[in-house]
Amino acid sequence: MRLTSFTDFGLRALMRIASEPSRAFSTAEIAEEFGISRHHLTKVMAALSSAGLVRTRRGTGGGAVLARRPEDIRIGEVLRFLERDQALVECFQSDGGACAITPNCRLRRMLAEAEEAFIGRLNRYTLADCALEPLAA
């Protein structure tokens, strides 16, 4: 399974924010640290906020903080949310895709089980398990 850059950036941001849960991190700061697009990260942060994973504040002293304790945020939950619009295979698309073998396909069930196992395995871990070290002052 290959994760999108959207999910990758979301995980990196959460790992950084979890390193100092009481501190607000700006999108610019996180983007610069990881060498990623600030514009793209802004969209990721909006999604993390809508998922209830972070709270954001604008202005001086603003930025993003975790909305829940890192111990309460499961990695599989994060992946499921961030990858929700990315079907593993065509027949998993919300409209069913255009796969010609869907009516007779036995692989679909196996892939669905594997995807659930993947998410289930990741749900054994929390954001606290993979938080980065705090930044040096």
pLDDT per residue over 75-116, tens digit each? 999 999 998 877 666 667 776 677 777 777 788 788 889 989
What pLDDT score was predicted for residue 42?
95
Is residue 135 a part of any domain in this protein? Answer: no
- Dump pLDDT digits (tens) for 37-83: 999 999 999 999 999 999 998 877 789 999 999 999 999 999 999 98
Is residue 30 a part of any domain in this protein? Answer: yes
Is residue 136 a part of any domain in this protein? Answer: no
Structural domain containing residue 72:
5-130
What pLDDT score was predicted for residue 59?
78
Is residue 12 a part of any domain in this protein? Answer: yes
CATH number at residue 73: 1.10.10.10
Compute φ and ψ for 124, nearest 5 degrees.
Answer: -75, -15
Total structural domains within the chain: 1
Answer yes or no: are the C-beta atoms of 54 and 48 closer than 8 Å.
Answer: yes
Is residue 137 a part of any domain in this protein? Answer: no
Is residue 121 a part of any domain in this protein? Answer: yes
